[in-house]
Chain A
Amino acid sequence: MVALKKIGRQTIKFLNPPSILTTASIVGPKEGEGPLAQYYDEVLEDDLFGEDSWEKAESKLVKEAVKIAIRKAKLKIPDIEFMLGGDLLNQLMSTSFAARDLEIPFYGLYGACSTMAESLNLAAVLIDGGYADKVVATTSSHFSSAERQFRYPLELGNQRAPTAQWTVTGSGAAILTSNGNGPFITYSTIGKVIDFGIVDSNNMGAAMAPAAANTITTHLMDTGLQPKEYDLIITGDLGKYGRDIAIELMKKEGFEIVKNFTDCGIENF
């Protein structure tokens, strides 16, 4: 038995590439003031979203993002066969509670900053394999619930390091289908965990950059594609400093990726 859809060291090639039917995104007030404001489906005025805790607000973000994506596709919630997604909280609290209310069969995923890529990837595998026709992939995060889970209380008077990053308040969802007109998911390269021993939680960009650089170079080697063939190569949230390091690391591997390489964290704020 040979895996027909795997090429190179760690890349999947989709033979029946799934198509992204619709996408939806909701963000908090700070993101709504950012350069991407006009592209969001909804910008909240109040980051509690009318709920009484940050976690409930985040859960509502997921639910609403999924609903908007479904509405845009002119579908009903029961038309969606599987939901894949996750967030940053214990027991995937916000996504699980959203899945409870949406009543869509649910895969809970945890990939921290890579959860969206992970859920899109596995959703594509489900569709390409013929296990489903319509799948929604989603993720969410909330600045205040993440601060509480990983850092300090909001009202504590401490200073942020210059390399500290800001967690996005928001949720995104994408519906994948087996018979659409694109954009298609054609390849996916699954990265390794690469730890160079950066222990500063205020410098996540430097901690994540080696893994991002490794995954991108492996992807290019596995597929035989050149960086310039891409309109855009984009990472999750290395930040400005992490992006600079990643560029250096990829240069060492012989790939000059500067112009068409950016990062969601840089674009968002």
Chain B
Amino acid sequence: MTRRLQTNEKKNYQKLVENTAPKPNYFTNCIWAFVVGGIICIIGQFVHNMIENNLGLTHLEATNATILVMIFLGAALTGLGVYDRIGKKAGAGSIVPITGFANSVVSPAMEYKREGFIFGVAARMFILAGPVLVYGITSSVIVGIIYYLLK
């Protein structure tokens, strides 16, 4: 009985907190994410067009080269301490593009550099990107097997 009362009290409190806690402004956040994410994509498309037209690469090769350039930009801006400031405003707009992936690898590498290059940088580098890699690669393998069997 007392136990149930306690859980009720807990539930009421959790509901109170849920209802009264200040909420982020989803509307402005969405606009920011859309604009900044869009700008990153436009830059990516611009780079892609330039590479495809000027370097004589095929469409797919140019895509791979563009990914390299965008990862480099994300990493460089992280190193310069700019990317986290963009991210504070843009949220998902700068997390979802591949520049955000570069940021999630470079930022722990910088953070843990003081613990050495093996146990610091190398061991901790994928602390945030690791789950994405593990489940991304695993699911790609599973999808590949299903595709092979269906074919």
**Residues in chain A within 8 A of chain B (CB atoms):** 52-53, 148, 152-163, 196-198, 203, 206, 210, 241, 244-245
Are A198 and B107 closer than 8 Å at their CB atoms?
no
Interface residues in B16-75 by Cβ distance below 8 A to A read 16-17, 20-24, 29
Residues of B in contact (CB 8 Å), total: 35
Q: Which of A154, A161, A162 contacts B84 (CB 8 A)?
A: A154
Are B13 and A196 closer than 8 Å at their CB atoms?
yes
Are B21 and A163 closer than 8 Å at their CB atoms?
yes
Further pairs besides A154-B84, A159-B29: 8, Cβ < 8 Å: A153-B111, A155-B84, A156-B103, A157-B86, A159-B87, A197-B10, A198-B14, A244-B20
**A206 / chain B contacts, CB cutoff of 8 Å:** 17, 21
Interface residues in B105-119 by Cβ distance below 8 A to A read 106-108, 110-112, 114
Bound together, the chains give a CA A158 to CA B128 distance in angstroms of 12
What 0/1 readout, one digit per residue, does chain B (80-96) give for beta carbons within 8 Å of chain A?
Answer: 01011111101100110
Bound together, the chains give a CA A153 to CA B113 distance in angstroms of 11
Interface of A is mostly: loop
Give me 8 A-to-B residue pairs in the complex whose CB atoms sit less than 8 angstroms apart, sorted by A's number.
Answer: A152-B128, A155-B83, A156-B103, A157-B95, A158-B84, A158-B95, A163-B21, A203-B17
**B87 / chain A contacts, CB cutoff of 8 Å:** 156-159
**B114 / chain A contacts, CB cutoff of 8 Å:** 52-53
**Residues in chain B within 8 A of chain A (CB atoms):** 9-10, 13-14, 16-17, 20-24, 29, 78, 81, 83-88, 90-91, 94-95, 100, 103-104, 106-108, 110-112, 114, 128
**A155 / chain B contacts, CB cutoff of 8 Å:** 78, 81, 83-84, 103, 106-107, 110-111
Asked whether A197 and B14 contact (CB < 8 A) given A148-B111, A157-B103, the answer is yes
Are B94 and A162 closer than 8 Å at their CB atoms?
no
Bound together, the chains give a CA A258 to CA B22 distance in angstroms of 20
**A161 / chain B contacts, CB cutoff of 8 Å:** 24
**B111 / chain A contacts, CB cutoff of 8 Å:** 148, 153-155
Asked whether A154 and B17 contact (CB < 8 A) given A159-B91, A162-B23, the answer is no
**A197 / chain B contacts, CB cutoff of 8 Å:** 10, 13-14
Are A156 and B128 closer than 8 Å at their CB atoms?
yes
Asked whether A196 and B14 contact (CB < 8 A) given A155-B83, A157-B87, A241-B21, the answer is yes
Minimum CB–CB distance for B17 against chain A, Å: 4
Minimum CB–CB distance for B134 against chain A, Å: 19
Are B17 and A162 closer than 8 Å at their CB atoms?
no
**A244 / chain B contacts, CB cutoff of 8 Å:** 20
Are A163 and B83 closer than 8 Å at their CB atoms?
no
Bound together, the chains give a CA A197 to CA B104 distance in angstroms of 30
Minimum CB–CB distance for B28 against chain A, Å: 12
**B104 / chain A contacts, CB cutoff of 8 Å:** 156
**B86 / chain A contacts, CB cutoff of 8 Å:** 157
